Amino acid sequence: MKETTKRVILILSFALILAALAVMLPLLFRKGMTKPVSDVPLTVITPEPKTEEDDVVMRTPVPTPVHIVATPTPVYPEKAVTILVNGAPLFAVAGREVADQLVRIYLDECARENLSDNTVLLTASIDAELSTVPADGSAEYVEFDVAINRLRKNRLLIPVRRTVARVDAVVETPAPQTEHTALLPEGARMFRRFGVASRTLVYIETLYKGGLAVSETETLRTPVQTGIAQYTLVGAYRLPDKFDPSDPTVEEGEAGPAPASLSFAAPIRGRITRKFGLATGSMCYGVDYAAAPGTRVVAPEAGTIIFLGKRPGLGFVIEIRHDEGFVSRLSFGENAVPTDLVLEKHVKKGEAVAVLPETEGAKESILHYELLIDGIPYNPLFYLPAA
């Protein structure tokens, strides 16, 4: 027990000594290193007066440091080439095959630009000197899609020269012609011939450069249709002042061309109730015959049936075309006409073509007969034998 107590007392004493040293040592160290302020000699520095040179130096700005950053050399594909247009670099692409494909597609698009149904491409070529060289980093590298879009937007980057032929149809209408004639009553008009416009195909070659038309040349004219002027007859015939309609020997109208080989006969046996002309106050372009219903109507001369049907103001009509421009027109009014004729049927002179139909409330029916020569009605009695 005594030894244990001694050891405890010894350890506690040693701990107290260490604690005392920990407090005293810093105080002793600070006292030895620090001197009183009064013991340190003081030096007073008086500033020198500023000169003009010092002022300039102070007002001169301090230069800003420049940071130089080196631009890295672009990295191109191994086979990249630069396209040169007339020796000047355009841009770089992945290789010569890509450059060839780019130019082919671009040239084809330019060649077909704005072609229509009436235009034909004659020639198309690059209007510049094109070449390729290995890419050296001096030209911008672009992908195929970017390159073709740049060319599409600016046709002057690689100008294309092309020639296009255009076919235009020139239509010209001849001035109409008018003739006054006594063959028609005053105030009447007849279109002897309808007008037809002339048509001419004109071939024009247009030269384009860089997408712009620079010249246009007419190379050929080919007429495809000859123009025909409209020809109109204007009536000038008036009833003579001393005309006596009761005189059976006096006929109105002018005699037309004499037929060379035709001999006309009356189309029906009946009495004449109205003659050609203005004697009754209104123009009659033929002869009216009255006959009993069922009377045969015959062809005045041999010919071909060219019309069967109704015409305004005439009713049912049969037209027979003879030689030398003569046409017989037989009109039956609004009555039904029994006939077995067909179009293009050839009939002989005197052959029956119909029978005179009945007219309600009348003992006789009327047949109206006109004789036309080249489309103009003439007095049929000038061509029929005397009754």
The domain that holds 219 is classified in CATH as 2.20.230.10
What CATH number should be reported for the domain holding residue 308? 2.70.70.10
Residues 117 and 223 in one domain: no
Per residue of the chain (387 residues), give pLDDT as tens: 556 666 666 666 666 776 666 656 555 555 444 444 444 444 444 555 555 555 544 555 556 665 555 555 567 788 999 999 999 999 999 999 999 999 999 999 999 888 888 888 999 999 999 999 999 988 999 999 999 999 999 999 999 999 999 888 899 999 999 999 888 888 888 887 888 999 999 989 999 888 888 899 998 899 999 999 998 989 888 887 777 766 666 788 888 899 999 999 999 999 999 999 888 778 899 999 999 999 999 999 999 999 999 998 889 999 999 999 999 999 998 876 767 889 999 999 999 999 998 888 889 999 999 999 988 999 999 999 976
Residues 193 and 86 in one domain: no
Residue 119: count other Cβ atoms within 10 Å of its Cβ: 14
Residues 274 and 354 in one domain: yes
- Parent domain of 332: 263-382
145, 162, 179 — which closes off a domain? 162
For the chain, what is the domain count?
A: 3
Residues 300 and 358 in one domain: yes
* Domain contains 35: no
Residues 126 and 187 in one domain: no
190, 219, 234 — which closes off a domain? 234
Residues 154 and 176 in one domain: no
Radius of gyration of the chain (CA): 60
Residues 271 and 373 in one domain: yes
Q: State how far the Cα of 65 lies from the Cα of 61, in Å rounded to an integer.
A: 12
Q: Which residue has the tokens 């006292």?
A: 31
Of 375, 372, 288, 360, nearest in space to 329 by CA: 372
CA geometry: angle 344, 308, 358, nearest 5 deg: 135
Residues 150 and 203 in one domain: no
Residues 134 and 172 in one domain: no
Residue 246: which region, alpha, beta or left (left: phi > 0; alpha: psi -120 to 50)? alpha
Residues 107 and 157 in one domain: yes
* Domain contains 175: yes
* Domain contains 342: yes
* Domain contains 117: yes
